[in-house]
Amino acid sequence: MRHGAHYTPPPLLSPSPPPAINSTATGGNQHPMLVSVLLALFLPCAGMSAVFIVYICLLWYATNHRSDNSGSSSVKQAGEKGLSVSELEKLPKVTGKDLVLGTECAVCLDEIEAEQSARMVPGCNHGFHLQCADTWLSKNSICPVCRAKLEPKLFDPPGDDNPC
């Protein structure tokens, strides 16, 4: 050995060096994955919320900014005025066995029994329970099945204009 040089032998068991702290080795790979998962969950929820808000705004606008045209006739306007009690009494009363177009009442969705009294709408011949028809037709002047408007001429008794 030379003068002034000192040599120490390496230890038999040397401890392994501590792991190097590197951002790409520990959290760097998980961070983009976490961002991707959060965006995959957040963006559809945000998009659906935006669509829902637009839908609610359109509903609000449609209900608050209606155009009330008195000249236009719609089904809703035609059905606003029902029949009077005297007009209801002019409609034909039959029994369930006399109904032509079926025995299901479209108002209560129940069957009209053969012995039950029923009311038949003239013109379209749809039949309903007597109470169901009177309740419906007192509020609406249209047939609940085919939406045919009950014209005033249907309540007049047959006169001279009938060739039979």
Side chain identity, residue 106: A
105 contacts 120 by C-beta, under 8 angstroms: no
Predicted local confidence at residue 73, as pLDDT: 45
Radius of gyration in angstroms for the set of CA atoms belonging to the chain, rounded to a whole number:
42
Q: In sequence order, what DSSP letters do the residues of 20-35 get, joined into one string?
A: P--TTTTTTTHHHHHH
**Structure tokens belonging to residue 12:** 């038999």
Q: Give kind and range of the element (H or E) at residue 135.
A: helix 130-139
How do the pLDDT tens digits run along the chain, 164 residues long?
566 677 777 667 666 666 666 555 454 456 888 888 888 889 999 999 999 999 999 999 888 877 555 444 444 444 457 778 888 888 888 887 777 777 788 788 888 888 888 888 877 888 888 888 888 888 888 888 888 887 766 665 555 454 44
CATH topology for 80-154? Herpes Virus-1 (3.30.40)
Predicted local confidence at residue 79, as pLDDT: 40
Predicted local confidence at residue 15, as pLDDT: 64
Side chain identity, residue 7: Y
pLDDT tens per residue, range 104-129: 887 888 888 888 888 888 778 888 88
| CA distances from residue 46 to 34, 36, 72, 73 in whole angstroms, order as listed | 18, 15, 41, 42
- Per domain, the residue ranges of the chain are 31-60, 80-154
138 contacts 81 by C-beta, under 8 angstroms: no
